[in-house]
């Protein structure tokens, strides 16, 4: 019993340490007297309380951007303690479970979490909810009854934006072939991106070919080469992440073909390619907003206000015309 508690305490200490590291790098101290913008009513609600933000991996660029949004929220709610932590890798499900358990042990006022893995973390979250801690899911939505809200990108809307661009601007029409290169089979995020695009394209009468490339650049390149062999008349390509889009672009260039290609994520590499006239576009999501609005939603819940079950942080198609705004 005693050793268990010591362990929980040390995990908690480690979590705090991690949170201190990742936030220190990005912004001014939370005590900054600046903006008390968004939370006119909420600021008092979390006064003296702790909100735990737990992401999938503390180290990657994407989650650090989410963390920058959390830092913005810290500036909004100066009286509240907001921790930010995550395992060393997205695959480290056990570490995230430990982080949830330590948040429960600390009796935090709310948990804002991007659940990693399949559903292994949900039982621990259920225990947190049973202990009366409100749960806000961010980034990745799950079937989890006690959740107060989901805050994140509407992935289907992102796919739809790509499909709409192909139909309206590229002029994809009935009978045209469009390839969708998608991430790992069964992955919920990629399912939504694929469906958003393919619904629009099929409604326009296009033939949609869907092939998997595990979110990997080299595999995206191979899939594009192979599909081009059988379908040299491909009209457009949507990849459910930028890495696969960049691979597909390389394959198209190698085959001396100019085919509109849109990726997803608007990562720096893809934006550079869009600016240089390589990729046609990429769907941008707003990870910073996911962090910020996740905490804001938690503060509202603590204050007892009603919140939307699903808070969309927005998507935007980045093309050559607006790429300058995203660099």
Q: How far is the CB of 197 from other proteins (least distance, A)?
A: 14
DSSP alpha helices (H): ranges in the chain?
A: 2-26, 61-76, 93-105, 122-130, 155-165, 188-203, 217-230, 242-254, 268-275, 287-302
Residues 6+ away with beta carbon under 8 Å from 49: 80, 81, 108, 109, 302
Among residues 26, 36, 60, 319, the one that binds other proteins under rule CB under 8 A:
60
Among residues 96, 124, 141, 273, the one that binds other proteins under rule CB under 8 A:
273
Among residues 8, 156, 209, 275, the one that binds other proteins under rule CB under 8 A:
209
Alpha carbon distance 235, 173 (integer Å): 10
Alpha carbon distance 295, 130 (integer Å): 21
- 256 part of the interface to other proteins, by CB under 8 A: no
Closest to other proteins by CB, 104 or 279? 279
Closest CA to 112 of 91, 128, 134: 134
- 277 part of the interface to other proteins, by CB under 8 A: no
Signed CA dihedral, 8, 92, 30, 315: sign only: negative
Closest CA to 292 of 181, 190, 192, 152: 152
3-state secondary structure 258-312: CCCEEEECCCHHHHHHHHCCCCCEEEEECHHHHHHHHHHHHHHHHCCCCCCCEEE
Binding piece for other proteins, criterion CB under 8 A, among 1-9, 43-51, 164-172, 219-227: 219-227
Among residues 81, 96, 141, 221, the one that binds other proteins under rule CB under 8 A:
221
Binding piece for other proteins, criterion CB under 8 A, among 32-40, 75-83, 99-107, 207-215: 207-215
- 59 part of the interface to other proteins, by CB under 8 A: yes
Q: What is the CA radius of gyration of the chain?
A: 21
Q: How far is the CB of 94 from other proteins (least distance, A)?
A: 15
From the number of C-beta atoms within 10 Å of its C-beta (0-12, 13-18, 19+), residue 110 rates as: buried
Report CA 94 to chain centroid distance, whole Å. 21
Q: How far is the CB of 103 from other proteins (least distance, A)?
A: 26
Count Cβ atoms below 10 Å from residue 258 Cβ, excluding itself: 8
Among residues 247, 260, 287, 291, the one that binds other proteins under rule CB under 8 A:
247
Closest to other proteins by CB, 101 or 216? 216
Binding piece for other proteins, criterion CB under 8 A, among 3-11, 132-140, 218-226, 319-327: 218-226
Alpha carbon distance 224, 237 (integer Å): 9
Residues in the chain: 327
Site string for other proteins, 147-186 (x = CB under 8 A): -----------------------------------x--xx
Alpha carbon distance 122, 111 (integer Å): 13
- 199 part of the interface to other proteins, by CB under 8 A: no
Among residues 105, 225, 275, 314, the one that binds other proteins under rule CB under 8 A:
225
Closest to other proteins by CB, 97 or 234? 234
Closest to other proteins by CB, 156 or 209? 209
Binding piece for other proteins, criterion CB under 8 A, among 53-61, 130-138, 143-151, 294-302: 53-61
Residues that bind other proteins (CB under 8 A): 59-62, 182, 185-186, 209-212, 214-218, 221-223, 225-227, 229-230, 243, 246-247, 250, 254, 267-269, 272-273
């Amino acid at each position: 019993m005693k050793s268990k508690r010591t362990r929980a305490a040390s995990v908690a200490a480690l979590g705090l340490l991690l949170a201190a590291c990742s936030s220190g790098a990005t912004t001014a101290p939370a005590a900054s007297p600046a903006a008390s913008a968004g939370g006119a009513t909420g600021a008092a609600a979390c006064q003296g309380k702790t909100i735990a933000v737990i992401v999938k991996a503390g180290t990657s660029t994407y989650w650090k951007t989410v963390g920058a949004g959390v830092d913005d929220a810290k500036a909004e709610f100066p009286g509240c303690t907001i921790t930010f932590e995550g395992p060393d890798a997205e695959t480290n499900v056990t570490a995230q479970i430990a982080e949830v358990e330590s948040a429960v042990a600390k009796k935090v006022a709310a948990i804002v979490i991007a659940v990693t893995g399949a559903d292994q973390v949900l039982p621990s979250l259920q225990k947190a909810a049973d202990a009366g801690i409100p749960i806000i899911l961010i980034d990745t939505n799950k079937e989890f009854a006690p959740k107060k809200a989901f805050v994140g990108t509407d992935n289907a809307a992102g796919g739809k934006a790509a499909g709409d661009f192909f139909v309206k601007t590229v002029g994809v029409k009935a009978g045209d072939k469009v390839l969708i290169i998608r991430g790992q089979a069964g992955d919920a995020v990629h399912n939504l991106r694929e469906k958003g695009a393919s619904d629009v394209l099929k409604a326009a009468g296009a033939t949609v070919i869907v092939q998997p490339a595990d979110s990997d650049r080299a595999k995206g390149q191979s899939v594009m080469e192979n599909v081009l062999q059988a379908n040299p008349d491909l009209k457009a390509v949507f990849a459910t992440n930028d890495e696969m889009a960049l691979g597909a672009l390389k394959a198209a260039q190698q085959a001396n073909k100019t085919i509109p290609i849109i990726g997803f994520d608007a990562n720096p590499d893809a934006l550079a390619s869009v600016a240089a006239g390589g990729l046609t576009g990429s769907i941008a999501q707003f990870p910073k907003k996911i962090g910020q609005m996740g905490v804001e939603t938690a503060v509202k819940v603590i204050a007892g206000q009603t919140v939307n079950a699903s808070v969309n942080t927005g998507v935007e198609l980045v093309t050559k015309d607006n790429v300058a705004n995203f660099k």
